[in-house]
Amino acid sequence: AQKVTQAQTEISVVEKEDVTLDCVYETRDTTYYLFWYKQPPSGELVFLIRRNSFDEQNEISGRYSWNFQKSTSSFNFTITASQVVDSAVYFCALSEALRSNYQLIWGAGTKLIIKP
């Protein structure tokens, strides 16, 4: 069955440290999509990135980078030189093209605390 695991419930680092949030997924589909969303303390959900199963290139956007590895079924998210504003809950999600009618399967989230 499809599943998304974010094993890190909470991570706390000091500002300017690098931090990696792990996401491991399970799927039987060959075509699928992976997402990261950010939920700041204000509560809204902010889309960060989408990656499809055919594109294993790593992505970098400013201080954010994503490492997609099909061999380990992982889609990890790294924040470089973290800032207090990065404090939020981060969710990883999976969408399967065929089996789940494009529903999003969500991980439980990782709460990231950046201390000044």
Tell the smallest beta-carbon distance from residue 56 to other proteins (Å).
Answer: 16
Q: Which is nearer to other proteins, 31 or 83 (CB)?
A: 31
Q: Which is nearer to other proteins, 15 or 24 (CB)?
A: 24
Q: Which is nearer to other proteins, 25 or 35 (CB)?
A: 35
Instruction: Give, for 46, the enclosing helix (H) or strand (E).
Output: strand 46-52
Rule CB under 8 A: which residues touch other proteins?
A: 9, 33, 35, 43-45, 47, 50, 52, 91, 95, 97, 102-104, 106-109
Tell the smallest beta-carbon distance from residue 98 to other proteins (Å).
Answer: 11
Tell the smallest beta-carbon distance from residue 81 to other proteins (Å).
Answer: 27
Longest dimension (CA), the chain: 45
What are the start-end ranges of the E strands in the chain?
3-5, 10-14, 19-21, 24-26, 32-39, 46-52, 59-61, 64-69, 74-79, 88-96, 104-106, 110-115
